[in-house]
Amino acid sequence: MPKIREFEKGHQYFRSVKFKQNEERFKKLVQEGQSPRALFIGCSDSRVMPNMITGSGPGDLFIVRNIGNFVPPFSPDDDYHATASAIEYAVTDLEVSDIIVCGHSDCGAIKACFEPHTPNEENIHTVKWLQLGEPARDTARRSLPGESLELQRDFAEKVSVVFQLENLLSYPAVRRRVDEGRLYLHGWHYNLATGEILYFDEAELEFKPLGAS
């Protein structure tokens, strides 16, 4: 198990260096509880590191990660809803002031939405989950007919972020706080190759470099 041993060494480094550097902050978070600034909904992709790309520290972000950084529409039933539960908890209990939905380049989930899939006992949940990316895929195909698959997928990655923001507004707790001006939604797209983050400008309906304005 060589890879696990690498993690063990990494943990020892964390304990001896990183934890020591932030020890007082960790103790304060234990004593006072967490009060994160924002809910960050990102992709499970191992190349996306929310704290690193935002420069945030312990206690700053309440993070939800799933395949494709998708937000399922609000569904008032008694089934298991991990992402929905985290959204509700962040908004109603932690009272975050901001929610960030962050997509990224070279997204495997968006790529998969452009490919045919037959559900079986080993992938049934994944195939169902990918349906959340189909509106973005269909929009990309309609908006860029005849363009390369690469361009369509890149467009779909960004459009998908906008669809997830719309889905967030289907949650009563989110909608009420947005309408009251107590909660703000942000759509981001992170480029793995350049490290740049683009944000969705609702007024101009386009993605722009974060922090450029």
Active-site position among 43, 102, 137, 189? 43
Catalytic residue selected from 102, 104, 137, 189 = 104
Cβ-based neighbour number of residue 198 at 10 Å: 20
Contact present, 191 and 197 (Cβ < 8 Å): yes
d(CA 196, CA 179): 30
Q: Is 182 a catalytic residue?
A: no
Q: Find out whether 198 and 103 touch, Cβ atoms under 8 Å.
A: no
Token readout for 39 is 């809910």
Q: What amino acid occupies position 150?
A: E
45 is catalytic: yes
The residue type found at 196 is: E
Residue matched to tokens 């924002």 = 38
Q: Is there a contact between 184 and 99 (Cβ–Cβ < 8 Å)?
A: yes
Query: Which among 11, 47, 117, 182 is annotated as catalytic?
Result: 47
Residue 99 to residue 87: CA distance in whole angstroms: 9
Catalytic sites, residue numbers: 43, 45, 47, 104, 107
